[in-house]
Amino acid sequence: MMGWKASVYSDGSSYFVRPQAPRLGELVEIRLRMRKNEEVKGVKLRRVLNGSESLQSMERLEEGGKWLVFRLSIPMNQPRIRYHFYIYTEREILFYNQLELSDTMPTEDGDFKLVAGYQGPDWVRSSVFYQIFPDRFCNGNPENDVRDGEYTFDGHPTVKMDWNEPPREYQDVFCLDFYGGDLEGVEQKIPYFQEMGFNALYLNPIFHSATSHRYDCLDYFRVDPHLGGDTALSSLTGALRREGMKVVVDVSINHTGTAHKWFNKENVFFPPEVGAFQNPGAPERDYYFFLEDNDYHKWYGVETLPTLNYTSGRLRDILYRREDSMVKKWLKPPYAIDGWRFDVANDMARNDAIDLSQEVWREIFTHIKGVAPQAYVLAEQWMDCAEYLQGDMWDSPMNYFGCARPIRQFVGEQDLFIGRDPDLREVKAPMGAEQLRKRILQHFGRMPHQLALNQFNLLDSHDTPRLHNNPEIAPGAVAIAVQMLFTLPGVPSVYYGDEVGLSGGMETVEGCRHPMEWNPEKWNKETVRLYRTLARLKRENPCLHEGGFKFLLARGRTVVWARFTPTEALVLAASMEAEAQTAAIPLGDIGVDDGWTWSEVLGKPVDMAWDPSGETLHLHLPAGGSRLLRWVKDKPRFEHAHWTWNANIYEVNIRQYTPEGTFRAFQEHLPRLKEMGVDILWLMPIQPIGRKNRKGTLGSNYSVMDYKACNPEFGTLEEFKALVDAAHGMGMRILLDWVANHTAWDHVWTTLHPEWYLKDDKGEIHSYVYDNGKELEYWTDVVGLDYGNPEVWDAMEDALQYWIRETDIDGYRCDVAGLLPTGFWERAREKMEEIKKVFLLAEWSTVELHEKAFDMTYDWGIYDRMGEIAKGEATALDLKAYTEKALAAYPEDAYRMVFTSNHDKNAWEDSDLEMYGDRFRTFAALAAVLPGMPLIYGGQESGLDKRISFFEKDPIDWKDYEHAEFYKGLLQLKRGNQALWNGQYGGDMEVLDCSGKDVFAFQRTKGSNRVTAVFNLSDRKHEVEVDGKAISLDPWGFGILVWPGDGKGGEDMDR
């Protein structure tokens, strides 16, 4: 299809439907877009209105000189609206729905669909799931391991396995082989998940069960003690919430095990008077299908898996209807899981003539969303399940049908279902690109777009052989499949071990359940890099959260698809051809042309050329190869490291932090800081301090004598590396303070390279003179470097790379960064990021530093306004004026550091006591919820009531950490509520009408997450109303109302 017809597009995203989740009765604007042309006379929207066909003409608009846009607003007058478009010219009528543009009138199953009031889990769209089979992942507590012969089930004893052994086959151990993985082990690996970019976990069953797979539950209300019990789950979910991560738990309520206390066939775990099997009068008898002679209905005929009977109202009550039901118990605190994955969901509530499936699923969905509207309802289904994906039963299936099955077949396997049939598996019929296109669209094109973005996409699972273990599939083909997984609409799920190339077999499910490999030397480094890069891309890129999806080419065995917004596109081109191909890709159909900038996401070489129109790209693809291209219309947004999105920062003065003043002594504080919620540790300079012209006894940390050494006062290089490793092991990051503008007088460069230094009129090196805008400051203990000399650039870049390469630090805080050329910092960053992704903080505030050089700059203005207000020299109106001006001046992707103190302000101006007095918590809370990354200066958690000496030993008095719990609450709030995240990842700020001279009130919103903050910045009591809620504020009091994304309303965090 050529010309304008190939460009026709609409979907359910915010670019084409507004609002995306309309309420009943609300007006909805619908749009359709195509290339500008003279043929199309008009477009009509066709829908069924109260049972009858309705056609309405759409308004014609021009957009950007290139596009025709047709729009129409309609009321959401029905719970569900289906629609498609009639596009007419003088000679033909074309019909456009979610599946295709056609000259044949379509049925309605491919219509665009809207569901009134659908409450989807918004967090899913920016997530990357990691599936964990608990027994095989990590043994965090060997004390709770299953022992050899601990019990016998179905006539077979338990077997304790060695972690380095492969799993044994079913006929050998009957799924009673246990490795000892547990929930404590999962919690210990949170830093690993963060490093890889996984921010949501899917746990295979965790409830008390007889076997290692735990799909034969024996108590739904108890976490298996061999996994750590209920306490381990509450600890894990709490730790995940603190890190802004989610968790979904697997359960089978289609069947139980015969050892379940409701059934209790063999009395292994419960006495004989318990359960239905041996007690015909037991109330649980109607939970199952009992037959003659005490036989019972079994799932797939498996003797140990009796099927549950949903004709029983009592069963429904205990599983999901009552407030203390199984489903609701685990959704509520202290566990507060974020969703359920339901095993064999397609089989549930069915037994021949009895088919209650959709009735039961609607009930379960309603009860879950009533408790937790943002909970994810995920169902196992391998086949077509469009009937369940209409907004009232499931949020998503395990998307085998629209992802795993077609993609694995496209890259060379037989279809996962077809391959199970002994006759069909012998048919060798490679899938072509057009078949792949149809297979994917017939899944995604038959559900509301609201659900399409929730689809749980996967390649491997506990039920499938791992694709990379198939000897017939080349590594390049596996890489193609992984890129497809991450770029389809929905959320990717990575099965544990896939990201490192975990070994396994292909014949049985035991082959895909090997214990996780934790020795990095045995990991496939290229595979790790692939997954880490794609996980970061998925989490960062709006195209993959809400962008359109369109096949641009499907010919032979070459396929190209795109995810796109009006200003950005990700284009995946993949070829399974045996020979190299040149693909002609009509990028103009999604708005991309030769004026857009591009990059190859995975760093592969690109051989391409535009045709003369500048809208069709000719891309060379090697045999069995792929390219993933990112296109940006305007300046790309600054891509910050994923671990900074919801992070805070904590400044450490090693000299004064402990009486010893050493790396080792500070390292002992890491668990405390982790518990408080600290993410990034900024260490003041750790290099040796110059002796010549030294100030005071010990000198300034900012007078550096050797860029590649440690100050012996603090410890050795090995001790510093141990500190970095310990911090990384707890999920924290390390920034070094870097002084690139000047050195000590006795730095080795002053002797070897005097030409690298600034000189006076006599040609002599001199003390550095700084013009602060008011007066000249003479920094007598340091001398300035001359960045007009290119050799200085090279030497400084080498020193910056040294600490990253040798000690694995995560970035730098750069002293007086604006005194150096911005070009130096931009080039230095490129060099550093050849080693790893870094985070750079500038002690400066000019906007241009955010272009390419720095992630974050100082927000001195907030500090100044807070100080003035505390001293009675300014009001809340001054703060409002400043914040509005600053937000307008800086790009959305700029991080600003917000602080109530730091080493300079504390030493040279005021201590917290002098600055804020007993109002300190008010300003600390304000700094934590304003746009920006909050800084805590080391010691503030204990009430920093003195100025710490800069040049002498003056240890912090830690007292009783009086503010530690207060800070912990603030940092947890920031991490867990996306409205408070940093830069483009957080919410915009709106100042509220109740603000005035004394009261500063604002709201920040991101998706369904909202935080409303109200601060009384005066000595007078105030009454204000926010969202219909009356708030009484004492002098210098505050309130923080939190909407955590559950749609139920605000919660008062503090006052």
Question: What was the pLDDT predicted at 910?
Answer: 86
HEC per residue, 813-825: EECCHHHCCHHHH
Q: Mean pLDDT across the stretch 694-698?
A: 95
CA torsion 179-185-186-192 (nearest 10°) is -110
Dump pLDDT digits (tens) for 876-901. 999 999 999 998 899 989 999 999 99
Helix then strand then coil, % of the chain, to nearest 5: 30, 25, 45
- Checking DSSP bridges between strand 491-495 and strand 17-18, what pairing results, if any? unpaired
Is the torsion defined by CA of 586, 592, 595, 598 positive or negative?
negative
123: nearest Cα among 342, 333, 341, 375: 375
CA distance 536 to 819: 33
Identity of the residue numbered 793:
W
Is the torsion defined by CA of 370, 372, 375, 380 positive or negative?
negative
Question: What was the pLDDT predicted at 940?
Answer: 95
Burial 148-160 (b: 16+ CB within 10 A, else e): eeeeebbeeebbe
Confidence grade of residue 64 (pLDDT, cut at 50, 70, 90): confident
Q: Mean pLDDT across the stretch 741-762?
A: 95
Question: What was the pLDDT predicted at 911?
Answer: 87
CA distance 506 to 884: 60
Contacts of 838 (CB under 8 A, 6+ apart): 641, 804, 810, 811, 812, 829, 832
Angle between the 475-487 and 525-540 helix axes, to the nearest 10 degrees?
10
The pTM (predicted TM-score) of the whole model is: 0.76
Position 1051 pLDDT exceeds 70:
no
Share the mean pLDDT of the chain.
94
Using an 8 Å Cβ cutoff, are 575 and 581 in contact? Answer: yes
Question: What was the pLDDT predicted at 1053?
Answer: 42
882: nearest Cα among 860, 897, 902, 904: 860
CA torsion 478-480-482-484 (nearest 10°) is -150
- Checking DSSP bridges between strand 456-458 and strand 396-399, what pairing results, if any? parallel
Confidence grade of residue 1029 (pLDDT, cut at 50, 70, 90): confident
Question: What was the pLDDT predicted at 462?
Answer: 97
**Extended strands (E) in 343-400:** 350-351, 354-355, 376-379, 396-399
CA distance 148 to 178: 9
Position 413 pLDDT exceeds 70:
yes
CA distance 895 to 890: 9
CA distance 949 to 279: 78
Dump pLDDT digits (tens) for 862-880. 999 999 999 999 999 999 9
Q: Mean pLDDT across the stretch 202-228?
A: 98
CA distance 975 to 934: 11
For the chain, which domains are there? 3-117 (2.60.40.10), 128-254+309-540 (3.20.20.80), 259-307 (no CATH), 556-632 (2.60.40.1180), 642-858+890-986 (3.20.20.80)
Token representation of residue 256: 């139980």
Using an 8 Å Cβ cutoff, are 58 and 72 in contact? Answer: yes
What separation, in Å, do the N-terminal and C-terminal C-alpha atoms of the chain show?
62
Question: What was the pLDDT predicted at 1030?
Answer: 86
The region, left, alpha or beta by phi > 0 then psi within -120 to 50, assigned to residue 3 is: left
Using an 8 Å Cβ cutoff, are 459 and 481 in contact? Answer: yes
SS3 label, residue 199: coil
Lowest mean pLDDT among 342-346, 611-615, 1000-1004: 611-615
Dump pLDDT digits (tens) for 594-617. 989 899 999 899 999 999 988 999
202: nearest Cα among 339, 366, 304: 339
The C-alpha angle with vertex 137 and arms to 174 and 257, in degrees rounded to 5, equals: 35
Dump pLDDT digits (tens) for 761-784. 899 999 999 887 778 888 999 999
Position 1045 pLDDT exceeds 60:
no
The region, left, alpha or beta by phi > 0 then psi within -120 to 50, assigned to residue 459 is: alpha
Using an 8 Å Cβ cutoff, are 656 and 643 in contact? Answer: no
Using an 8 Å Cβ cutoff, are 980 and 970 in contact? Answer: no
Question: What was the pLDDT predicted at 921?
Answer: 95
Using an 8 Å Cβ cutoff, are 82 and 35 in contact? Answer: no
CA distance 938 to 681: 10
Question: What was the pLDDT predicted at 635?
Answer: 65
Confidence grade of residue 2 (pLDDT, cut at 50, 70, 90): low
Q: Mean pLDDT across the stretch 461-470?
A: 97
Question: What was the pLDDT predicted at 636?
Answer: 65
Q: Radius of gyration (Cα) for the chain, nearest Å?
A: 31
- Output 796 or 417, whichever has higher pLDDT: 796
Position 637 pLDDT exceeds 80:
no
Q: Mean pLDDT across the stretch 137-161?
A: 96
Question: What was the pLDDT predicted at 513?
Answer: 98
Position 1043 pLDDT exceeds 90:
no
Lowest mean pLDDT among 36-40, 229-233, 1044-1048: 1044-1048
Confidence grade of residue 1052 (pLDDT, cut at 50, 70, 90): very low
Contacts of 1028 (CB under 8 A, 6+ apart): none
Dump pLDDT digits (tens) for 927-973. 999 999 999 999 999 998 899 999 999 999 999 999 999 999 999 99
Count the Cβ atoms, other than its own, within 10 Å of residue 994. Answer: 15
CA distance 221 to 206: 11
Q: Mean pLDDT across the stretch 159-179?
A: 96
Confidence grade of residue 1044 (pLDDT, cut at 50, 70, 90): low
